[in-house]
């Protein structure tokens, strides 16, 4: 039975679950409104994929993206050597509970957990590249090794790490899909989620609902 179930899983597609961590869910230090509401959807679709990658922000204390390091308020901005930086509340600190994947997220289908943003001096929104747009996380190589040609992206937040992961997936040459009902956004400033969806669509990302998956995957 196990072999039969595995044979029905999508072979050339991967699911990327972006940053479904405690600090990004209600009660966390950088909570996304209704962030935990996507978890049942993610849990329902993940078993259809043979390759499932869950990413985690994994910041050291005093990370360059933290407003407290710069003596500024959260959501102010600053200029760094590699570009413009939004400053965030302290979040997803290595080894602390806020950095853990949400306990309701079923991790059994996950084949790899990818840690990003671990460099104290460099943030990482994208699952593929650090924010200098040059330092790879290793995800592209992992997917290529497993013969992946299409990626389906869900998680938190639509207008930050989900967006940049999707844009970089397209740049890496993957056919890229955003599962809209399995994402939630920060929407600061207001309208940033709509702007992110527009940017992704313009770049070639295809926006779908979870109900479309079975047909697209052929499982």
Q: Which residues are catalytic?
A: 19, 116, 161
What 8-state DSSP symbol labels residue 131?
T
Say which residues have a Cβ less than 8 Å from residue 92's Cβ, sequence separation at least 6: 19, 21, 23, 24, 30, 56, 57, 58, 59, 98, 99, 117
Dihedral sign of CA atoms 11, 170, 129, 209 in order: negative
Run of H or E including 40: helix 39-45
């Amino acid at each position: 039975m196990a072999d039969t179930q595995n044979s029905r899983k999508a072979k050339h597609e991967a699911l990327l679950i972006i940053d479904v961590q405690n600090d990004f869910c209600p009660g966390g230090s950088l909570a996304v409104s209704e962030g935990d509401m996507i978890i049942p959807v993610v849990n329902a679709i993940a078993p259809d994929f043979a390759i499932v990658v869950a990413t985690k922000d994994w910041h050291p204390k005093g990370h360059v993206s933290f407003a407290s390091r710069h003596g500024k308020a959260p959501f102010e901005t600053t200029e760094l050597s590699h570009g413009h930086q939004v400053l965030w509340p302290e979040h997803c600190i290595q080894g602390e509970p806020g950095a853990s994947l949400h306990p309701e997220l079923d991790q059994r289908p996950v084949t790899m957990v990818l840690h990003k943003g671990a460099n104290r001096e460099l943030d990482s929104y994208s699952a593929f590249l650090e924010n200098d747009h040059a330092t790879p996380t290793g995800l592209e190589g992992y997917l290529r090794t497993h013969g992946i040609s299409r990626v389906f992206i869900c998680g938190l937040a639509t207008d930050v790490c989900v967006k940049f992961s999707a844009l970089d997936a397209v740049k890496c040459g993957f056919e890229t899909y955003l599962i809209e009902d399995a994402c939630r956004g920060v929407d600061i400033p207001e309208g940033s989620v709509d702007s992110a969806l527009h940017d992704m669509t313009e770049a070639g990302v295809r926006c779908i609902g979870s109900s479309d998956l079975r047909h697209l995957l052929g499982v």
